[in-house]
Structure 1
Amino acid sequence: MSSKKPVGGSLAIEIEMRAEAAASIRVLGQRIERQLTELQQLGQQVRAMAPSPARDRKLAEYDEKRREAEYRKWTLIVQREAMGLFNHDDVEEIYRVPPRLS
């Protein structure tokens, strides 16, 4: 039998809130990973296409997905800061948004 007392009161609420925040960050990271994979594939398609209206449409799709990835990465950073994490070097290294294409 454990001699530790169960966590209660405001500490239990704090623990639950931090667990929810961590889960939210994990899900957002997974979404960003999927989106970056899609973005990389789309970028390869755009680079392989000859100049044409179809390429222009694909490039516009790439640009939109790239903006979405940048926004999701920003929301991840905001959520991390809300949890007291202010060094985002790991975020910048792990979630590298590819450059713009022309």
Structure 2
Amino acid sequence: MSGKAPIGGALAIEVALKAEAANSLKALGHRLDRQLTELKQLGEQVRAMAPSPARDKRLAEYEEKRRDAEYRKWTLIVQREAMGLFNHEDVEEIYRVPPKLR
């Protein structure tokens, strides 16, 4: 009996698991990209507003969405590390979370 895993057995399961993990990363990246686009637009709106209670409310919304984007980016990095990817320079470059506003 050979020591190789059968094509239809463990190897197929491993390939399916890796494909599922890759799809999960892809989906998370797409969600983060959309979220960062919305966050950038919201930040531009806040910057264009004069000081007022309405601006304060939008600023609070911006900061909440910004924290969520930071968390989602961290989640993406954790999932990448779980897959054995430890260089995150591309993640830092592609998914830049906008700065805090005042």
TM-score scaled by structure 1? 0.93
Residue matched to 2:101: 101
One-letter amino acid of the structure 1 residue matched with residue 62 of structure 2: Y
Residue matched to 2:44: 44
**Does 2:87 match 1:87?**
yes
One-letter amino acid of the structure 2 residue matched with residue 82 of structure 1: A
Residue matched to 2:66: 66
CA shift, 1:11, in A, is 1.2
**Does 2:15 match 1:15?**
yes
| Structure 1 consecutive aligned stretches of length 4 or more whose deviation exceeds 6 Å | none
**CA RMSD for the aligned pairs?**
0.9
Give unmatched runs, 5+ long, in structure 2.
Answer: 1-5
Structure 1: distance between partners of 2:7 and 2:61:
50
TM-score scaled by structure 2? 0.93
Give unmatched runs, 5+ long, in structure 1.
Answer: 1-5
How big is each residue's C-alpha offset from its partner over 1:55-91, in whole Å with a ceiling of 9 and x where there is no partner? 0000000000000100000000010001000000000
The total of aligned residue pairs comes to: 97
Structure 1: distance between partners of 2:7 and 2:70:
39
**Does 2:57 match 1:57?**
yes
SS at match of 2:76: helix
Residue matched to 1:3: none
